[in-house]
Amino acid sequence: MRKTISIILLSIVAVGMSLSLAKVPFGQPKTKVGQRYIDKGVEETGAVNIVTSVVVSYRGFDTLGEVTVLFIAATGLGAVLKIGKREAAAIEPASFVLRTGCRVLFPLILVFGSYIFIHGHLTPGGGFQGGAIVASAFVLIYLGCRERRISETASTTLESLGGLVFVVAGLIGLAVGGYFLLNFVPKGQPYSLLSAGIIPVIYIAIGFKVGSELAGIIDNLIEEST
């Protein structure tokens, strides 16, 4: 009976959503601001990746809020899980093949994640994606070489430093030009690594912050579960 009712309710929701979405043209620009970002984005911010120019430059303040939300979530999780923290019992080591595989893959994934967030203004991706890839490298190490642990001091220090760099870069812009997160560094030649002013700096900070935060969340959860 409950199943029938839930299936009927779900079908009503599905029909309603598809009817309302059917009228929205797919892939067509619906606002004028998007075209402006495409036309002027490279010129105004120096970032070739338009998504990055929107995320870090035009909507940089929103990104700061997003980073804060993630920070609060990680802090809250740490506070909740830390109460019952105890010494991890002796863990049986994983098999040789699994351990070696993880050790071979770990640096490669780490380098790939760093590449994603360092080249955030040139190629697809950026701080969040790169940070998530770095954190997944740590997940691999946790699952494969279970006796390894990242130091909690290092991860919280990196996390705080990342947030601090973001806010300080914004405040310097406020002091120099009167706008929070003003791009005060010369923009340089587009398509080169050292271009787009403070965007790479902010994205590297976000990459470190997101990576250490997500790795810390996983660390808290796994430590709690063993």
Partner 1 sequence: MIFFVSLLVVLMLLGAVAACIFRDLISAVIAAALVSLIASILFYFLQAPDVAMAEAAIGAALTTAIFIVAIRRTNRYEQ
Binding residues vs partner 1 (CB under 8 A): 49, 51, 116, 124-126, 128-129, 132-133, 135-136, 139, 142-143, 214, 217-218, 221-222, 224-225
- Cβ distance to partner 1 smaller for residue 44 or 224: 224
CA distance 194 to 175: 23
Shortest Å, Cβ 179 to partner 1: 25
Q: C-beta of 184: minimal distance to partner 1 in Å?
A: 26
- Closer residue to partner 1 in complex, CB, 37/142: 142
Q: How far is the CB of 222 from partner 1 (least distance, A)?
A: 6
How far apart are CB 2 and partner 1 at their closest, in Å?
Answer: 14
Q: Minimal distance in Å, beta carbon 128 to partner 1?
A: 6
User: In this structure, are residues 49 and 129 in contact, taking their beta carbons and an 8 Å threshold?
Assistant: no
Task: Identify which of residues 153 and 225 has a Cβ nearer to partner 1 in the complex.
Answer: 225
- Cβ within 8 Å of residue 80, ≥6 positions away: none
Q: How far apart are CA 120 and CA 127, in angstroms?
A: 7
- State which H helix or E strand residue 210 sits in: helix 199-225
Q: Which is nearer to partner 1, 133 or 181 (CB)?
A: 133
Min dist CB 139 to partner 1, Å, is: 5
Q: How far apart are CA 72 and CA 70, in angstroms?
A: 5
Q: Which is nearer to partner 1, 129 or 184 (CB)?
A: 129
186 or 225: whose CB is closer to partner 1? Answer: 225
User: 109 near 133, Cβ under 8 Å?
Assistant: yes
* Residue 121 DSSP symbol: T
Task: Check: CB of residue 183 under 8 Å from CB of residue 136.
Answer: no
Pick left, alpha or beta for residue 114 (phi over 0 → left; psi -120 to 50 → alpha; otherwise beta). alpha
